[in-house]
Amino acid sequence: MSLALAPLDANVELEANLPCRKFDPDLWFADSPAELELAKSLCGDCPLRVECLAGAVEREEPWGVWGGEIFERGAVVPRKRPRGRPRKEDVARDAALRVEAQARLAASGLAESRSAVRLAA
């Protein structure tokens, strides 16, 4: 067995069980709203979800799914909108999801740790 292929520590084995390591990485950076929702759902049971989200908030990730949240231009967005003008019910749903996303950030302690956490409008 090659030393380059041998796990160096337990973190290597942990990484193998993370959803973002088991599935196609492009799923977390997809253009399709449905694929991003799937990536968000896969993050739900991840043991590193909170740390992943905290790191993404700190780095102001420009895009992708991090810690079960969708980032766009460095801000958490409730859902990815398809191109074109949104329907009225989508605008109302986005407002409710924005409140829910802020509540999840606050519940995980991220809203207090970074006062500049912003949600995209």
Compute CA distances 75 → 16, 20, 63, 66, 108, whole Å: 28, 20, 8, 11, 17
Tell me phi and psi for residue 76, to 5 degrees.
-75, 130
Q: Are 49 and 43 in contact (CB under 8 A)?
A: yes
Instruction: Give, for 72, the enclosing helix (H) or strand (E).
Output: strand 69-72
d(Cα 57, Cα 98) in Å, to the nearest integer? 15
Q: Which residues are annotated as a binding site?
A: 20, 43, 46, 52
Q: Which residues are annotated as a binding site for [4Fe-4S] cluster?
A: 20, 43, 46, 52
Residues 6+ apart with CB under 8 A from 31: none
